[in-house]
A and B are shown apart, each in its own frame.
Chain A
Amino acid sequence: MSNEEPWPLLDGGGTTPPSAVEGRCPTCTYPVTAWASFCEGCGAPLLPTAPPPPLQPSGGSTATRRLGAEAQPRSCAQCGGTIDADGYCQTCGTKAPDPRDHSEAAPAPWLAGVCDRGVQHTRNEDALALWVSPEGDRAVLVVCDGVSSSAEADVASTAGAEQACRVLAEQAVGSDDAIAEALVAAAAEANAAIAAATTGEGVSAGSATFAAAVVVAGSPGLDPGIHYGSLGDSRVYWIGDPGSAPDQVERLLLTRDDSMAQEFIEQGMPRDEAEAMPKAHAITKWLGSDATDVVPRTGVLRPGSDGWLVVCSDGLWNYASEPAALAEQLDAAAVADPSPLALARALVAWANAQGGQDNVTVALARHTVRLEEPAADVAAGEGKPIDG
């Protein structure tokens, strides 16, 4: 080609553009909508044959893939919109309460628990796990309190509580020794689960306390009793019902803290004084990748009367450390509603009313001495026989 001649000029248009044919661009056959004014494929101009549809209702575009896995959708308390995976309403932007902040469980009419963030802390690092056997004759209660000095305390406590509960549900069967072994195994496996779920090392490693109880109801083939174990400063109490003779009432702190306060007490300091010491809440044993001793102290109790088994974090017992003080709150709450869920809620509300300085977790199981209640025996006996 000589440079004296003009270069070929590509005609840029000027005519009316064609319309889509059967939903496709007539130039390149790329799929287009009837209201498209140009082809998304080749960019060729198109003459629309239909008006665009109205804008979609509020919320993300349906074609849009949301970031992260979406749990079951929750509704916004403010406007009724959908809560996004990021924790805010898709319509009005209101922050939804974090489900981790408050959770409740009531797997049986005689077993319930509440786990709450409390008032002062911005994050709930406590965790609660409850389990009841299908026959209703065995229950597991686990409370773990994430150690606040670790970044992943909330992850640690959840992993530990869930794993310990699984292990106890499977293994805490049989003789007292077998159940005590299961408690030791549960702590060991919870420790491994925490190490696997957290990433930090050293003092910032995710770590948690451990308090667990196994309730064996009095039914054929099972020796009734309360088995417990703990590590750190979460506790198991037994609050027996007041009987005819007040001096026979059993109100017991079953576990012994692994804490500086406990060491002061063992050196002879009164409990109220020891628990007010500056370093009282420093624990000497815990679960986590930097833990050195993860064998819980275990025990078994065969109550002489009906009563309440209480497993709790220090967020509760900070305000009612002595068994009698805890019993007082339990009795006060039972006036309104004696169901375990109502009592657990009431105890958490009470702790928050005292200041809620820490996360608060309370798990309660009603334990009855069933030999004295033939009706209950019949009810339990209607099911299939239980292997002991």
Chain B
Amino acid sequence: MAEFTSAVYQNEYLPDGGTDVNAIVTISCTGAGEAGKTGAGDAGEIIIVDTSGSMGQANMNAAKQAAMVALDHILDGTYFAVVAGNHKAYLAYPMVQTGAGMVRMDPRTRAEARRAISFFRADGGTAMGTWLNLAKALFASVGPLGNKHAILLTDGENHNETQSQLDTAIANCVGHFQVDARGVGVDWKVAEIRKIAQALLGTVDIIPNASQLGAVFTELLRNSMARGVANAELRIWIPQGAQVQFVRQVSPTVEDLTHRGTPVNQLTMSYPTGSWGDEERDYHLAIRLAAKTVGQEQLAARVQLAVGNELLTQGLVKAKWSADTNLTAQINPEVAHYTGQTELAQVIQEGLAAQAVGDEATATTKLGRAVQLATETGNAEATAKLRKVVDVTDARTGTVQLRRAVDKADVMALDTASTKTTRIRG
């Protein structure tokens, strides 16, 4: 049985009249078990592969190989399906017209699925909304499932759908299944794919070279199969009259959850966190309270992890009003660290967006600040990726110049990795 623990990092002390409490809450899961094997219901896995014409023969062959390798990492007994997508969505496997659109993995179905994948041919356009809608219908066709996860591979822009068609499809799928999205090559749009992955509680990344596809699919499926806890929620209780200013996941990536909550009761909101393996996630929350008099103490938030209606761990965020400025002036190091990391993600994305529209002044300022923050917070990955896009004159002051000849894959890699954070604790 999975065990969850929590730890709270904050400066509890507020000055006289102080109202804002910031805290980092770390939630850890151990003993998660394997997806579909923990009594939380069967697991479902869908592999969605872009088969549009732009894939070309080389990318298509690599994607077929990768999808076949991925099948090997889906545990026997897991419900699965393979979807081929271009401007339409096709159920490639299982080959059924009606009824359940997913079957359990076993040696026979694995071999049949491999054969179905071998027939993929690059042709047609791209309409990812229809792929997502088909995946949702497939998951729904097999009855109650615990973990529901899809991997989505594309190589191009969503040419055959309007923005709102894709947005509607994404909104329809929210809460139904999780998607890890990957783009191969440099002809796809990071913002488009990130939108899918963020809404569906997954990750986004670039695969610059099709030869890396097999390794990426293997890792994604292994991670997915190691998430034995399905549909966990982060619950945040706040006192009557208080406000949640924001709640963000800040590790392993920055994801703003503030507007994703649904009420559990008048004082408690629930935020979806998807499935969990053995891992730690950090959340940053900011609560605004009515100020109390010096010497008083009160609870600012109860931060809980729940599966179903069972609370598995709880962290307490406190507020103590004090006249001692030595206590109240301190900024908790974890809070400071993740505040910096969140700004880092923001300035990278804003800097790249400015660069894309030719606003070099803004791009230089934002990416300069990014270099400064990445250095200050010890984010080596961001620093390395930034250095491929800008020439750094002085990292501490954030003095940089935009590089003239930049590999587009490096820009996209910086963009997709912008939300990845580093931790300051072992």
Interface on A for B, CB 8 Å cutoff?
A: 1-3, 6-13, 27-28, 30, 40-44, 55-61, 63-67, 79, 84, 86, 88-95
Contacts and interface: CB of A to CB of B under 8 A. Distances in A.
Contacts of A56: 265-266
A12 B136 contact: yes
8 contacts: A1-B95, A41-B143, A56-B265, A60-B237, A66-B311, A84-B302, A88-B298, A93-B300
Given A1-B95, A92-B240, A93-B299, A42 B143 contact: yes
- The listed residue with most B CB atoms (<10 A of its CB), out of A3, A10, A88, is A10
Contacts of B268: 60-61
A64 B282 CA distance: 24
B265 A61 contact: yes
A275 B7 CA distance: 44
A79 B415 CA distance: 49
B160 interface: no
Interface in B53-67: none
A64 B309 CA distance: 5
Given A42-B143, A93-B289, 4 more contacts: A10-B137, A61-B309, A67-B311, A94-B296
A61 B267 CA distance: 10
A5 B84 CA distance: 13
Contact of B298 (A2, A43, A93): A93
B144 A86 contact: no
B95 A57 contact: no
A27 B140 CA distance: 10
A136 to B, nearest CB: 43
B70 to A, nearest CB: 18
B30 interface: no
Given A67-B314, A88-B298, A92-B298, A9 B263 contact: no
Interface of A is mostly: loop
Given A1-B119, A12-B136, A92-B240, A65 B266 contact: no
Contacts of A79: 240
B137 A55 contact: no
A28 B144 contact: yes
Interface stretch (B86-94, B193-201, B406-414): B86-94
Nearest to B311: A67
B140 A3 contact: no
B90 A6 contact: yes
Contact of A8 (B91, B241, B297): B91
Interface in B275-309: 289, 296-300, 302, 306, 309
B310 A65 contact: yes
A236 to B, nearest CB: 37
Contacts of A27: 140
B101 to A, nearest CB: 5
Interface in B120-139: 120-121, 133-134, 136-139
Enumerate the 7 nearest inter-chain pairs by beta-carbon distance, A residue then B residue, closest first. Answer: A7-B90, A93-B239, A93-B299, A88-B299, A3-B119, A12-B137, A43-B140
- The listed residue with most B CB atoms (<10 A of its CB), out of A7, A59, A60, A67, is A7
Nearest to B118: A3
A11 B296 CA distance: 60
Interface residues of B, number: 52
B16 to A, nearest CB: 18
B240 A28 contact: no
Nearest to B99: A10
Given A55-B263, A56-B266, A41 B144 contact: yes
Nearest to B242: A93
B97 interface: yes
Nearest to B241: A92
Given A7-B84, A79-B240, A88-B316, A58 B265 contact: yes
B174 to A, nearest CB: 11
B239 A91 contact: yes
B144 A57 contact: no
Contacts of A59: 265, 267
A30 B137 contact: no
B311 A65 contact: yes
A43 B92 contact: no
B134 A12 contact: yes
B405 interface: no
A27 B99 CA distance: 11
Given A8-B96, A63-B309, A94 B298 contact: yes
- The listed residue with most A CB atoms (<10 A of its CB), out of B144, B238, B289, B309, is B144
A3 B316 CA distance: 58
A44 B140 CA distance: 6
Nearest to B306: A64
A92 B240 CA distance: 5
A56 B237 CA distance: 14
B309 A58 contact: no
Interface in B363-380: none
Nearest to B119: A3
Contacts of B176: 43
A346 to B, nearest CB: 26
A100 to B, nearest CB: 16
A10 B135 CA distance: 9
B336 interface: no
- The listed residue with most A CB atoms (<10 A of its CB), out of B116, B121, B140, B241, is B140
